[in-house]
Amino acid sequence: MTHTARDLLTTTTATLAPDPDANPLVPRIAAGTAPRAALAALALEQTWVIPADRRAFEHLAVRSEGTDPEAAAFFTALAQGEALAGERLVAFARACDAREASYEPLPGCQAYPAYVAWLALNAAPADVVLALTANFSAWGGYCATIAAALREHYGFTDEACAFFDFFAEPSPELDEMATVAVQTALDARRLDEKRAHEYGRLLQNYEASFWSTLGQLT
């Protein structure tokens, strides 16, 4: 049995790490072979994902305020981060010539934010902290790869890459908030490790669906 939050976060992240072959799009972006239409679709799907996740995190923060202030602080920081990311997304969408008015979002891409919203309504906040933190590791790696490739192969400016730079940048403060929230829940015996692992597994699968759906456009 894991006894510290840091151990639990590390082992959960490692256990839930996605199969390298589960993402068909990022390697093509990294190689510069993904068409700009796929980049535009990525931008447009994120215009749906980011505000949905922000509202879900805000709801989790409100749910946590009275009984779990450490989790509330974590979710508040996440919501603020999504707001900043949304501002940076505009330049990426513009660089891709993404046309939002005529775009229809894809179910395989929107399953992820739909499940985050389900977690916001149904899951114990501390369990969500653990599940999300494990999931964020893979997302950050994808964003770092995309940011580098957009500059090298597609000639995008720093402004156009800022959305991916934001998520690729390590956040020691957020990591510490997650650790404190998980440790507090462990000490209070209100963290369900098995349930949190299931939430994390589903998040990873829904993220894989996001990328595989976009990969089919190429």
pLDDT band at 27 (very low <50, low <70, confident <90, very high): very high
Question: In this predicted structure, what is the pLDDT of residue 193?
Answer: 94
CATH assignment, 5-215? 1.20.910.10
Question: In this predicted structure, what is the pLDDT of residue 21?
Answer: 77
pTM of the model: 0.94
The domains of the chain are located at 5-215
C-alpha to C-alpha distance for 7 and 194, rounded to whole angstroms: 15
User: Is 26 exposed, middle or buried, given 0-12, 13-18 or 19+ CB atoms closer than 10 A?
Assistant: buried
Share of the chain above pLDDT 90, in %: 89
pLDDT band at 19 (very low <50, low <70, confident <90, very high): confident
Question: In this predicted structure, what is the pLDDT of residue 218?
Answer: 65
pLDDT band at 1 (very low <50, low <70, confident <90, very high): very low
pLDDT 10s digits, 47-70: 999 999 999 999 999 999 989 999
**Residue 19, φ and ψ in degrees, nearest 5:** -60, 130
Name the residue among 64, 91, 88, 92 with its Cα closest to residue 77: 64
If you average pLDDT over residues 16-28, what whole number do you get?
88
pLDDT 10s digits, 31-40: 999 999 999 9
pLDDT 10s digits, 152-205: 999 999 999 999 999 999 899 999 999 999 999 999 999 999 999 999 999 999
| pLDDT for residue 80 is more than 80 | yes
The two three-digit tokens of residue 180, written as one number: 């404190």
Q: Around Cβ 76, how many Cβ atoms within 10 Å?
A: 18
Question: In this predicted structure, what is the pLDDT of residue 66?
Answer: 87
Within 8 A by CB and 6+ apart from 29, the residues are: 38, 39, 145, 146, 149, 150, 153
